[in-house]
Amino acid sequence: MPKDETQLFRGEAVCKCSEFSIDRGLRELPGCIIVLITKLLRVCALLFFEKDEEEKAKGKPIAAILVGAPGSGKSTFCENVMRGSSRPWVRVCQNNELELLASEVFKMLKKRSIYLRLQDTINNGKSGTKPQCLKSAAASLKEGKSVFIDRCNLDKEQRVDFVNLGGPEVEVHAVVLDLPAKLSISRIVKRTGHEGNLQGGKAAAVVNRMLQNKELPKLSEGFSRITFCRNETDVDAAVKTYTAVGPLDTLPHGCFGQKDPNAKTQLGIMRFLKRPHETNTRDSVPSQLTEEKGPCGKTQETVSSSSGMPSQKIKVSEDMAPGSISQDESDIPTLAFPSISTADFQFDLEKASDVIVGKVEEFMDKLGNAKLVLVDLTERSKILSLVRAKAAEKKIDSKRFFTFIGDICQLYTKGGLCCNVIANAANWRLKPGGGGVNAAIFNAGGPALEAATKEQARSLLPGNALVVPLPSTSPLYSKEGVTHVIHVLGPNMNPRRPNCLDNDYVKGCKVLEDAYSSLFKGFLSIANTQVKVPRSSGSILSGPSKLEDEVSGTKTKTWAPCLQALYNIAMQPEKHNKQVLEASDDVVVLNDIYPKAKQHLLVLARIKGLDTLVDARKEHLPLLMTMHEVGLRWVDKFVGEDASLVFRLGYHSYDADMPDAKVVERPEENIGCDLVPSMRQLHLHVISQDFDSKHLKHKKHWNSFTTAFFRDSVDVMEEINNQGKATSQDEKRLMSMELRCHRCRSAHPNIPRLKSHISSCQAPFPADLQKKGRLVPEQTNSGCDP
């Protein structure tokens, strides 16, 4: 079993089960069959669940390598985790911070005597050497203990020996304390006890210099998990995460704690891409369209260098304090695409380059800050040089469209170029194989890409593109930071391949144009959901007009903090360990923080752009089924604990017209007010029907769970299956309806009287609720409709 499979989150197996069981034919099925399938899935889910638990028990020791400047709080981090953790931790400390600092300060003061108190610490303390640290860490790991490597570890070279401590029996993590420089500096200055004087100032300068040369860790160094902490809140969350890892637990793999979990981009890489002139010349660089040959040569040289790995040393410009580096740059959506149809399909290169440049030009103004990169393997690529020349002629912005020489499957790890989306020159059956880019991408994407593709479609027509979100289990996702693959099918001019156009270039060019249009539209739809777009239709190819506003940054829509919270939890569940009960690729389960009943859970959808029920379409049905399944599993658990509980699973049906959309103001940015819908991130309520809760206070609380405003999950799935979407409700009318008991339907004048009544009402549930599995478990005493 591959390593990742053993790291499944609780319940992830369940979702995998659902994923693979759901055929696209599902949408044609009537509602009763959905219920049947649902039940079958529950059995499978339980089987998988048990297996998952077994896997989980195999807890491995963790070697957590702290990365941070002196004063970043590494030792405090270790101490805080070790204080509360049930896992045996050992802190291996080289105490090199002070040594490093002192030696640097010595150099700066040209060996004049210094009076930093830290000097005493070093002279009298028993700081370990690096070999001693390695030995000590290896011994602890062998004993099954987890270790914190508490030293600066600011560059790859410093880390490599510790990373090598890992193996099949040891998980290697990095915890990066990348806090604002001024914070580390103020702490270290305080620690030296020389605040404000010469020595304190020198220490600060040294820390500053160390930070400028830092090299953030990457998964490709051999880490299975990297947690980035950019501020103290992040640090607190990471402490909680690590404290909560028991002896038999594991943490999910990947990069965590960046602004966008999908943004695998290293800060340094984005800076380096933005300012190529400031980087080491040995670094692989995008070939600028305005330049003729030089950069390509450099690129090739780097890619073919002996290590195959370009130096990733970050050069921070002198005019910028390290602490002021903004992570925002890493959020820039970038599409890498191969030339479509020019390889195996033998499309004329001159014509193809015209089409590429024409389409790029057309989409340029819709792109916002997003980037397009045309990729080819070889330096001698004719298509690249043709495109470069034509794009330069048309004066296309070379920062937002450039060519790159390298393997499209290894742009990040080998080329240092971070692209969240890559295009595939696919075949019509959307199958692996056939050589070329298609074979390489399917190979690099692994079975996860194949399965995810199958879920979307089984075939593709020439001129079309298909956006496939990449599961995190795909190596392309975890290693390369690719979140989506877009399959594109271009025209075929090769008589030995199906559907040859027989040299009809009128038709051929039209099809190729369509292919690039579909590709770029697909990319825009992804970029659309990855920038701050509060509301997306959820359709794959949404119109660019909406994007223009969003990407250009002239207007930034925002959400009230509490509404944003669900989105944040869905995107970064690992940061909300306290609330999160379960997380998988598809859903996050948490307790409602203001439960309106004895048991009240939320199952959050983990995809962007699915804000409310009105956004849900047929393509979301598998996800809705997964959410339902996960909800049912929790119901089983709760009913096992208290057999008197009865549950409904459903969604709040916000009005499509959003009559009471909230106005959120951001005075600090002077951007005025924007209307936003009343909730973000689709979530399924799993709520027991006792409504016994101190948080149930208002009429709208009651009516939101007991009127038609609450749409049962089974009905929603059936409706979307039959009609393509869920109908919206008259929110205002439903919320102001009189207060009626959900069982006997008697009316009550106010909330206290209603609550008093429902605490004792034992009437059977209305007949309509007792149908179609709306109540769980199903009630047997039917036929008592009052």
The answer to whether the CB of 478 falls within 8 A of the CB of 219 is yes
Least Å from the CB of residue 703 to DNA: 10
Cα 106 to Cα 643: distance, rounded to the nearest angstrom: 72
Rounded Cα gap, residues 375 and 232, in angstroms: 40
Largest CA distance in the chain: 94
Q: Judged by CB under 7 A, which stretch of 66-74, 366-374, 744-752, 778-786 contacts DNA?
A: 744-752
**Rule CB under 7 A: is residue 698 a binding residue for DNA?**
yes
Tell me how far, at minimum, the Cβ of 615 lies from DNA, in Å: 16
- Decide if 534 contacts 675 (C-beta within 8 A): no
Residue window 278-317: x/- pattern of binding to DNA, with contact defined by CB under 7 A:
----------------------------------------
Q: How far is CA 651 from the centre of its chain?
A: 24
Among 697, 740, 771, 772, the residue binding DNA under the rule CB under 7 A is 697
Cβ–Cβ under 8 Å, residues 490 and 341: yes
Q: Among the candidate windows 258-266, 340-348, 437-445, 693-701, which touches DNA by CB under 7 A?
A: 693-701
Which string of x and - marks every residue 598-637 that binds DNA (by CB under 7 A)? ----------------------------------------
Catalytic residue, chosen from 683, 685, 701, 742, is 683
Stretch that binds DNA, among 228-236, 389-397, 479-487, 697-705 (CB under 7 A): 697-705
Question: Phi and psi at residue 499, in whole multiples of 5°?
Answer: 55, 45
Of residues 306 and 760, the one with the C-beta less far from DNA: 760
**Binding test (CB under 7 A) with DNA, winner from 662, 757, 771, 772:** 662
122-141: contacts with DNA (CB under 7 A): none
Task: Tell me: does residue 163 bind DNA (CB under 7 A).
Answer: no
Closer to DNA by Cβ: residue 130 or 753: 753
* Contact status: 652 vs DNA (CB under 7 A): yes
Closer Cβ to DNA, 25 or 749, answer by number:
749
Which ranges of 583-738 would DSSP assign to H, the alpha helix? 621-641, 699-706, 713-723, 731-735
How far apart, in whole angstroms, are the C-alpha atoms of residue 566 and residue 530?
A: 16
Q: Smallest gap, in angstroms, from Cβ of residue 621 to DNA?
A: 23
590: three-class secondary structure by DSSP: strand
Is 435 or 561 the residue whose CB approaches DNA more closely?
561
Taking the CA atoms of 269, 271, 272 and 276 in sequence, report the sign of the dihedral they define: positive
Nearer to DNA, 258 or 704 (CB): 704
Query: Residue 143 or residue 738: which is nearer to DNA going by CB?
Result: 738
**Cα 178–Cα 182–Cα 185 angle in degrees, nearest 5:** 90
Please tell me whether residue 594 binds DNA under the rule CB under 7 A.
yes
Task: Decide whether 13 or 684 has the Cβ nearer to DNA.
Answer: 684
Considering only the stretches 197-205, 249-257, 639-647, 692-700, report the one whose residues sit in contact with DNA under the rule CB under 7 A: 692-700
Name the 3-class secondary structure at 503.
coil
- Per CB under 7 A, the segment of 123-131, 242-250, 272-280, 695-703 that binds DNA is 695-703
- Least distance to DNA, CB of residue 697, Å: 7
By beta-carbon proximity to DNA, the closer residue of 698 and 733 is 698
Q: Taking the CB of residue 540, how many other CB atoms lie within 10 A of it?
A: 18
| Shortest Å, Cβ 684 to DNA | 12
Residue 736 binds DNA, judged by CB under 7 A? yes
Task: Find the part of the chain contacting DNA (CB under 7 A) among 57-65, 144-152, 332-340, 743-751.
Answer: 743-751
Question: Which residue in the set 46, 321, 560, 737 belongs to the binding site for DNA (CB under 7 A)?
Answer: 560
Work out which of 313, 431, 454, 699 binds DNA, going by CB under 7 A: 699
Beta carbon of residue 648, minimum distance to DNA (angstroms, whole number): 14
- Residue 148 CA, chain-centre distance (Å), reads 26
- Cβ proximity to DNA, 25 vs 561, nearer residue: 561
Q: How far is the CB of 679 from DNA (least distance, A)?
A: 5
Helix (H) or strand (E) holding 466: strand 465-469
Size of site (CB under 7 A) for DNA: 20
Torsion 538-539-540-544 (CA) sign: negative
Nearer to DNA, 116 or 602 (CB): 602
The continuous run of DSSP H or E covering 587 comes out as strand 587-591
Q: Is 628 tagged catalytic?
A: no
SS3 state of residue 283: coil
| Least Cβ distance, residue 666 to DNA (angstroms) | 13
Question: Minimal distance in Å, beta carbon 581 to DNA?
Answer: 17
CA distance 666 to 651: 30
Judged on CB neighbours under 10 Å (0-12, 13-18, 19+), 229 is buried
Q: Which is nearer to DNA, 659 or 786 (by Cβ)?
A: 659
The residue among 681, 677, 587, 598 whose CA lies nearest residue 635 is 598
What count of other Cβ atoms lies within 10 Å of the Cβ of residue 646? Answer: 18
Q: Residue 659 in contact with residue 732, Cβ under 8 Å?
A: yes
Interaction between residue 740 and DNA (CB under 7 A): no
| CA-wise closest residue to 449 among 484, 421, 409 | 484
Task: Please give the Cα distance from 127 to 130 (Å, whole number).
Answer: 10
Of 574-593, which residues contact DNA (CB under 7 A)? 592
Does 667 bind DNA (CB under 7 A)? Our answer is no
What residue has token string 């966008």?
Answer: 260
The distance of closest approach from Cβ of residue 651 to DNA in the complex, given in angstroms and rounded to an integer, is: 10
Q: How far is the CB of 695 from DNA (least distance, A)?
A: 4
**Closer residue to DNA (CB): 346 or 678:** 678
Contact between 716 and 621 under an 8 Å Cβ cutoff? The reply is: no
- What string of H, E and C letters represents the secondary structure of 4-48? HHHHCCCCHHHHHHHHHHCCHHHHHCCHHHHHHHHHHHHHHHHHH
x/- contact string, 747-766, with DNA (CB under 7 A)? --xxxxx-------------
Task: Give, as one character, the DSSP assignment of residue 304.
Answer: T
In the chain, the N- to C-terminal Cα span, in Å, equals 56
For residue 207, give the nearest of 81, 326, 123, 116 by alpha carbon.
116
CB atoms within 10 A of CB 294: 11
Residue 65 β-bridge partners: 149, 174
The nearest distance, CB 747 to DNA, in angstroms, is 12
Site for DNA in 520-559 (CB under 7 A): none
Query: Which residues are within 8 A (CB) of 438 and not within 5 positions of it... i.e. 6 or more apart?
Result: 424, 425, 426, 427, 432
CB closer to DNA out of 290 and 750: 750
**Whole-angstrom distance, CA of residue 703 vs CA of residue 738:** 8
Report in angstroms how near the CB of residue 231 gets to DNA at its nearest: 21
The string of DSSP codes covering 216-243 is ---GGGT-SEEEEE-SHHHHHHHHHHHH
How far apart CA 220 and CA 224 sit, in angstroms, is: 9
Residue ranges in contact with DNA by CB under 7 A: 560, 562, 592, 594, 652, 662, 679, 695, 697-699, 701, 704, 736, 739, 749-753
Q: Which residues are catalytic?
A: 683
